[in-house]
Amino acid sequence: MKASIKICLAAVLSTSSWWSHSMVDAKSVFAHYMLSTLDPNTDHAKQDIDQAIAVGLDAFAVNVGAPGADFSKNTLRQLFDYARDKPFKLFLSFDFYAAGDIGAHQEFFNLWRNEAAYLNYGPQNLPVVSSFSGGSLGPDVWRNFKETNNVYLLPNLEGDADYYNNPTAFFQKWGNAIDGVFSWETAWPDASNTPVNVTSEKDVAVKNAADRAGKSYMMGLSSLQYKHCCGDSWYRSGETNLPERMTQILSLKPELTEVMTWNDAGESHYIGQCWPEGLPEEILQYGNSETYPHDGWQPLITSFINAFKNGEEASQMKPSGDSPIGALWYRGVMAPCDTGLRGSGAAINSVNYAVVLPPTTQGARIQVSSGGQVLSNVPAHEGLNYNAIGGMVTGPQKLEILDQSGAVIASASSKVDVSNGPQGGFCNFNYYVAGIQ
């Protein structure tokens, strides 16, 4: 039986209008949220939740990498307190890469499971628990956790060899240990030193097996991976990964989608703010959302969410109003730049864009310029348009939407020019994102 969403009501049912915003039987979209220090003297928790609501997200999947730390408790308390009276939920995602003791995660989970803003899911309206990693624990450990804590279990179990190699055998083995699964790695292409596009081939196989087993499937939606800290440095293609993945998810139609991520500055795939009080300087030098803002992607995420919940395809995506929405994004440094960066060969010197046009738009064109020279001028259609336009050069970058007469009706422009060499002493492969104005 496929799961349906139910809202966990507080002990005294509020008469506020937001309770009428029912999620019952609706598809849902969450965002992975890295749990780190939030200064209680700021309104950062409020900003995160308010912005997520505006985007159209239903909940944060809160990544818990330090279940015993004071900052974990303090930050979650801020988030739950603010979300209590909002049309927004939270649930825990155990990070077994950072903290491998399921007992510690269980103890931490039990501190929060009864919060009014904790997400409940499924026909029995149970608290949701997900994870990053955890497949190596095996079905017996997870089954015991599920039965002991009476939860709706939606873990990331790619560590089990059968997960991608033999999904049918995987679900036979895991059986009643889980209620569904979450695939993380399929949100990007495999690491490569040549350009490669993301594929949903593995998602199709796992989702089909999940359907046969009566389990839920959650797909990941992300922009790129770029990391330059903590003794490691890598890049996984991000040129048009975000709109390509949107197209795949809207075609495959899983029950759930998780945006990866809201605030993971360490891997550069954030769409929200990355608050500096919770990040080391090593990460802030390349993953600072003030210097490298990604919120220009948010209107695209909103359009995707609406299409996803309506069962529509990418060609049916719509802006929230009558004007085009979208963004351009680009790296601030030309490739090749850093031979020490794993996967750097996959990077293309391109100006990347995604644009959603309303059904009323006729005869529009999309024009991309780099360094003051037009690289591309192509017809546009209603719904989602996207491309990676090669030939980017140093200098400013620009995206323009032209009407039938050639007049500019919307545009996005770079705020930082592309350079030929490293900035700040290293080659930063994170993206500058500029939303359409």
In this structure, are residues 329 and 292 in contact, taking their beta carbons and an 8 Å threshold? Answer: no
pTM of the model: 0.93
Residue 318, CB-side half-sphere exposure with 13 Å CA sphere: 13
User: What CATH number belongs to 5-316?
Assistant: 3.20.20.80
If one counts every other C-beta atom within 10 angstroms of the C-beta of residue 80, the result is 18
* Confidence (pLDDT) at 26: 63
In this structure, are residues 22 and 58 in contact, taking their beta carbons and an 8 Å threshold? Answer: no
* Confidence (pLDDT) at 421: 84
**pLDDT tens, position by position, 79-109:** 999 999 999 999 999 999 999 999 999 999 9
Residues pairing with 171 in the sheet: none
Q: Where are the domains of the chain?
A: 5-316, 325-435
What are the tokens at 388? 């990676």
Residue 213, C-beta contacts closer than 8 angstroms, at least 6 positions apart: 171, 172, 175
The domain at 325-435 falls in which architecture? Sandwich (2.60)
Burial string for 146-175 (b: 16+ CB within 10 Å, else e) reads beeeebbbbbbbbebebbbeebeebbeebe
Residues pairing with 216 in the sheet: 180
**Which residues of the chain fall below pLDDT 50?**
1-25
